Every structure is written in structure tokens, then in C-alpha cells.
Amino acid sequence: MLDKLTQIEAVASQALAQVQDEAALEQWRIAHLGRSSPLMQVFSSLGALPREKRPAVGQKANEVKKALEAAFAARSEALRQAALQRALSQERLDVTLPGRPIVRGRLHPDTQILRELYQIFREMGFQIYRSREVETDEYNFQLLNFPVGHPARDMQDTYFLQAEGRGDNPLLLRTHTSPGQIHAMREIAALDPDNPPPVRIILPGMVYRYEQVDARHETQFDQLEGLAVGPNITFSDLKGTLADMARRLFGPRARTRFRASFFPFTEPSAEFDIQCFQCGGKGCAVCGGGWLEIGGSGMVHPVVLRNGGYDPARYTGFAFGFGVQRIAMLKYGIPDIRYFWENDLRFLEQF
């Protein structure tokens, strides 16, 4: 029996030396240390041995079992180390591979144009004045000399937010940035009511209209309003400012044109156009007839000056307001205003 145990150990040790991977190791464990292995059979046959032989055989069997278990543990560890070494050398990280590109966002073309306009007007001495998008009828219309029921309101139909209980002064989404003129003049005049300081501001922001949407009209768009009020401001200041803006935006050859028009809050009033620089004024998909209608302008109406706290006997002023997207369309040759808020990346990624 003792010889048999020596042999069992030798066979198992030899087999273990052949084991090269985890699966083979597990098979080895079942074969040589498992319940039906030769070694375990020795244990279960101990009872059948003559009493005096049992201690020696039992002791030897235990020694063999311990030895095999230790050998198993050592082999298992050796295999693990070998696998680790293999992984370290084969799966080595190649740090010279290019990384994954980081997707960089960019500014919306509308924001880009607005910032360019801020810069141009900053150089001309205009400050930015922000004004609310939800307005009252009073500020959006009445104080700008559109009385209740005045037909000039029809050119700016709008969205009413709350009319009930507010009589002739419903809340609405502003149809233009012009109500900001009143807010700004009142705020600046209040600094010194007897001698209101001069005003030179631009008022950018979103406006809303109940429009028939087409390639040149949207129900919401950005406007840039300008307002200058002071003791000696004339219509030539207005023309000079807008012509200069066009040249700074489109280059020294850019041409502007003024056409007599009507707005209740300016007198005289003019619409101003910039010659399409996509087609050089011949007429194309962007402009239609060679000139792109940019916005309205004029000398601030005496009623409006007074509503803002400025005495029309002492002060004059000019104002203008135009669609920011129209400028972007001219500058980048965008044929349709609806692209701006469609959020199509194929459009946005071009800027």
C-alpha cells in the first residue's frame, strides 16, 4: 500500500508537469485529488486494512495529499503569472495610436453675426442695452405712437399671451426691439431728469410675429435696434452710421439705399437696403431683386422722445432696426431664413 501511494504521487507529479493551462489544471485536480481519484480511494479503503497497518498508510496518504495540494497551488500560481506576462507583452498599449477626436461645438451663425455687429457698433461708440421679450401693448405699440386700433399695427401682427382683464394693455411677445427704446430712454433720462444724458445704444434680441413663413420670413427672428438721442442728431448721422455698418460688414464697396417709408415712431422714416453682394445687384435667390431689404429707420418721433423723457425741443435722435438673419443671409449667401432654427447639423456645421 505504501508503494502504491509513492507511485500515485509520482504519476500525479509527472502529469502536473505537463499541465499548460487553467482547463488542464482543473482536469488534473479532478483526476488526482477528486473524490474518485486513486488517492481518495486509498483513503476510503483504509477501513479494510488490518488494524496495525492503518496508521502508517493513513499518515503516508495524508503526506501525499498535502504534497499534491501544494504542488497544485504552486502550478496554479505559475500558470497565472505566465498568463499575466503574456498579456503584458502581447496586449501592450500602443501610445503612438492617434486618439479619438473630440467633437468641438461652434457658435451658431446667428450668434457669430451678432457678435460681429456688437464689435462694429462698439467701435462707433454704441453700448448694448438688453430689453425684455414679453412686453405690454403699451410699450410695444402705444408709447411708440401706435394708438389702440391704429392700422399700422397690422404690419406687425403678434402673439398675445394674456389679454383677459388687461383691457387695452394685453401682454404679448414683442414684435420688434423698438419698445426697448422707451425702456432705455426712461432709464437713462431718470439719471438726470432736467438734463437727460445723450443715448447711443444698440438693442439686440429675439422678436416674434404672426407671419406667413417663407424663404425670407420667420415667426421668430433676431433684430438689432439702434438708438441715438442727443442735442444735434440729424438724418445724415443715421445714413452715415448705417452706410458705415454696411462697409464694415461687407467691405468698402458695399452700397446702401434708403427708401421713404412710414413708421408711427419715426418721422421722417426710411427703409434701408443693402446691395446683394452675392450677385452684385443683378438679382438672385438670396435677394430677389438685387437689393436685400434689411430694416427700418428714421428720426425718432417727437411723441416717442417725450414718452422716453426727452424734450423734443432740445433733443433729436435717430433709430433703426433690422433683421440679423437677413445680414447673415447676405454675408454667407444663405438662400432661406428657415435654415436658422431648423437645427440641421449639415447647415450649422458650415459656419
Strand order in the sheet with 171-173: 134-136, 171-173, 160-162
Positive or negative, the CA dihedral 273, 275, 278, 283 is: positive
- Residue of 28, 146, 250, 263 interacting with ligand PHE (CB under 6 A): 263
Size of the residue set binding ligand PHE (CB under 6 A): 12
Nearest one of 323, 350, 347, 332 to 278, comparing CA atoms:
332
Q: Which stretch binds ligand PHE (CB under 6 A): 26-34, 117-125, 286-294, 319-327?
A: 319-327
Ramachandran class of 345: left when φ > 0, alpha when ψ lies in -120 to 50, beta otherwise:
alpha
d(CA 269, CA 262): 5
| Residue placing its CB nearer to ligand PHE in the complex, 13 or 261 | 261
Q: Which three cell numbers stand for residue 233?
A: 442728431
d(CA 269, CA 259): 8
Residue partners of 108: CB distance under 8 A and separation at least 6: 340, 348, 351
Least CB distance to ligand PHE at residue 242 (A): 11
158 binds ligand PHE (CB under 6 A): no
324 binds ligand PHE (CB under 6 A): no
Least CB distance to ligand PHE at residue 165 (A): 28
Q: Which stretch binds ligand PHE (CB under 6 A): 51-59, 272-280, 290-298, 341-349?
A: 290-298
Q: Which stretch binds ligand PHE (CB under 6 A): 29-37, 123-131, 289-297, 336-344?
A: 289-297
Q: Which stretch binds ligand PHE (CB under 6 A): 129-137, 276-284, 314-322, 341-349?
A: 314-322
- Class of residue 31 by CB neighbours under 10 A (exposed 0-12, middle 13-18, buried 19+): middle
Q: Which stretch binds ligand PHE (CB under 6 A): 38-46, 73-81, 315-323, 332-340?
A: 315-323
d(CA 266, CA 305): 10
Q: Which stretch binds ligand PHE (CB under 6 A): 15-23, 85-93, 105-113, 295-303?
A: 295-303
| Residue placing its CB nearer to ligand PHE in the complex, 195 or 212 | 212
| Residue placing its CB nearer to ligand PHE in the complex, 57 or 292 | 292
Q: Which residues between 164 and 203 bind ligand PHE (CB under 6 A)?
A: 176, 178
Q: Which residue has the cell 403678434?
A: 158
Q: Which residues between 21 and 60 bind ligand PHE (CB under 6 A)?
A: none
3-state secondary structure of 215: coil
295 binds ligand PHE (CB under 6 A): yes
- Residue of 296, 307, 324, 337 interacting with ligand PHE (CB under 6 A): 296
Least CB distance to ligand PHE at residue 210 (A): 14
Least CB distance to ligand PHE at residue 309 (A): 18
121 binds ligand PHE (CB under 6 A): no
298 binds ligand PHE (CB under 6 A): yes
- Residue of 131, 266, 275, 325 interacting with ligand PHE (CB under 6 A): 266
What's the CA angle centered on 328, arms 327 and 332, to 5 degrees?
A: 120
- Residue of 113, 189, 319, 327 interacting with ligand PHE (CB under 6 A): 319
Residue partners of 232: CB distance under 8 A and separation at least 6: 316
Q: Assess contact for 210 and 199: CB atoms under 8 A.
A: no
E strands within 109-150? 127-128, 134-136
| Residue placing its CB nearer to ligand PHE in the complex, 39 or 201 | 201
Distances (CA, A) of 105 to 33, 344, 346: 64, 14, 13
d(CA 264, CA 141): 9
Q: Which residues between 202 and 231 bind ligand PHE (CB under 6 A)?
A: 225
321 binds ligand PHE (CB under 6 A): yes
Binding site for ligand PHE (CB under 6 A): 176, 178, 225, 263, 266, 295-298, 319-321
